[in-house]
Structure 1
Amino acid sequence: MTTPRLATYSVNGAMRYGAATDTGIVDLSARFAKDYPSLREAVAAGALMKLADAAAGRSPDHALDAVALQPPIPSPEKTICIGVNYPDRNAEYKDGSDAPKYPSMFLRVPRSFVGHNAPLVRPRASPQLDYEGELVLVIGKAGRHIPESTALDHIAAVSLCNEGTIRDWVRHAKFNVTQGKNFDSTGSLGPWIVPYTTEAQIADIRLTTRVNGETRQDDRTSRLIFGFRYLINYISTFTTLVPGDIIVTGTPTGAGARFDPPRYLKPGDVIEVEAEGVGVLRNGVVDEAN
């Protein structure tokens, strides 16, 4: 059985959504736009499998190279990113600290992300653009004070993120990393969302990041310090999770800043974030225009 893959894309100046196949995109917007203007409304309605079933057996309406894939969920209310969530990542800081008691987290704005195959932009303000491959949870059902026992019922889909970071700017202040995490077009989301079905689908996913074909990050979601159930429970304690919210769940060891000397991204580099059962999120790098 082919894994359903639902994507947001632009073609001829219009924003649309559909099902991605190996050769193209089956347009679902025309059929479902009245009920679901975007994938965010489809997520809220619990309709992702309905969309996938509607696309089954249909020939693509657009070739993949004829569309521009966008971040799959347009205008999410919030994108919550988790820091230091793999054991080796904590050790990477070399500060002798125990595993954290609570997760580190921060918010990112939509403008800081591009879609699959769009270039990440190295800003004029700093050459220290770095990569962080991560698995993404898309929330499908609203909730506050969600128990761990039912937390996974609130997941609609999974996706991928390259949570690009400007390293020197995350150290500009004592208590936050917001600046270095929110430069325009420094991260990416996609290439699509895969509907969530069972816990086994996400319990032990291999997550890798490659730069110019060289594997830099390689770990499994079964090793997370703070698992998916805990994250949903913890986050929903202080904020109401709503459909379309995105949780970026943490990156393995091996980011460019941790090499000696650091190996930051430069124009012409190609970064690929891959997860079993999800796909490959690919982006190049360009310099910000003067």
Structure 2
Amino acid sequence: MRLLSYLVNGEARYGAAVEGGVVDLSRRIGRYFPDLKALIAGDGLGRAKEVVAGETPDHALVELALLPPVLTPEKLWCIGVNYMDRNAEYKDNSDLPKYPSLFVRNMSSVVGAGQGIEKPAVSEQLDYEGELVIVIGKEGRHIPREAAWSHIFGMTLCNEGSVRDWLHHGKFNVTQGKNFDRSGSIGPWIVTSDECDPRGPHEIITRVNGEVRQQDTTARLMFPFDALIAYLSTFATLKPGDMIATGTPTGAGARFDPPRWLRPGDVVEVESPAIGVLRNAVVAEA
């Protein structure tokens, strides 16, 4: 299934994208599962499939203001330097990493598909990072790699927007440059694991104004999805609805000479064929 969250008359709702539009699940099973996170935690996928079967769509997809699929995950983890060749982009002659690089984003820093991502007024260095995101479906701690796949509910996409000059304000962290309000996006929906096997391989492509800037495959991840789940769950309990942005390929704007920063009016598309396209235009901070 393709499960998504959206606004109707200012109210957050969730549903299933089907041929011809969106079936509103909030109206049908919202008393049991108030939002998509509750449906994931409550093992409600089977019920959702039963409800959607044979239903006529309630909304046209193009008429909806989309939100990030999971509105209130407990954790939004982000992995850095995870594709082959990414370490070389730093030109610091360092060895390949032994452990994943890790930081956390707030949900206020991301918008849904089709919504404007903001270039902050204090910086000219807004950059794109196209990423695949795994969504946790089953709680776990100390999850072995061989069991990790059973903890994945599905996958979505992320433009892990970064404000590059603010990444260097702290000595040991990148938090500031990764958490500007509305600087990134997640969506357009979660494709469930029964329809999109996380084992892949999955291609990831990022385009800016139609020009391909990033293109790679999860076959070239240094830390595959199962390794990330095993590593993260060593120190933190993974909860249903948690999201893990699994890293971006080479080719971000900062790596060009001169750098190619995003400007208002630019359109960023992140695509993976088995999932779809996450598309956002860049707007100036209000």
Q: For this structure pair, what is the TM-score category when the shorter chain's length is used for normalisation?
A: over 0.9
Q: TM-score of the superposition, structure 1-length normalised?
A: 0.96
Aligned residue in 2 for 1:155: 152
Aligned residue in 2 for 1:214: 211
> Identity percentage over the alignment?
59
Out of 266, 275, 282, which is 2:272 matched to?
275
Unaligned segments of structure 2, at least 5 residues: none
Q: Structure 1: which amino acid aligns with 2:165?
A: D
SS of the counterpart of 2:85?
helix
- Cα distance change, pair 49–224 in 1 and its aligned pair in 2 (3 A): farther
Q: Find the aligned partners of 1:202 and 1:12 in 2 and give their Cα distance.
A: 38
Out of 115, 118, 130, which is 2:115 matched to?
118
Alpha carbons 1:158, 1:193 under 8 Å: kept: yes
What does the per-residue CA deviation read over 1:166-219, in whole Å, with 9 as the maximum and x for residues that have no partner? 000001112100000000000100000011138844420010000000000000
Aligned residue in 2 for 1:83: 80
Aligned residue in 1 for 2:47: 50
CA-atom RMSD, angstroms?
A: 1.3
Indicate the larger mover: 40-49 or 272-281. Answer: 40-49
Q: How many pairs were matched up?
A: 286
Q: Find the aligned partners of 1:54 and 1:96 in 2 and give their Cα distance.
A: 55
Q: Find the aligned partners of 1:245 and 1:171 in 2 and give their Cα distance.
A: 27
Q: Structure 1 residue 71: deviation in Å?
A: 0.2
Aligned residue in 2 for 1:134: 131
Q: Find the aligned partners of 1:161 and 1:245 in 2 and give their Cα distance.
A: 14
Q: Structure 2: which amino acid aligns with 1:83?
A: G
SS of the counterpart of 1:105?
strand
Aligned residue in 2 for 1:69: 66
Q: Structure 2: which amino acid aligns with 1:278?
A: I
Matched, 1:165 2:147: no
Aligned residue in 2 for 1:255: 252
Matched, 1:102 2:127: no
1:154-193 maps to which residues of 2 (within 5 A)? 154-193=151-190
Q: Find the aligned partners of 2:19 and 2:263 in 1 and give their Cα distance.
A: 30
Q: Find the aligned partners of 1:139 and 1:253 in 2 and give their Cα distance.
A: 26
Moved over 3 A (4+): 198-202
Aligned residue in 2 for 1:243: 240
Unaligned segments of structure 1, at least 5 residues: none
Q: Structure 2: which amino acid aligns with 1:12?
A: N
What does the per-residue CA deviation read over 1:72-94, in whole Å, with 9 as the maximum and x for residues that have no partner? 00111010000000012111111
Aligned residue in 2 for 1:6: 3
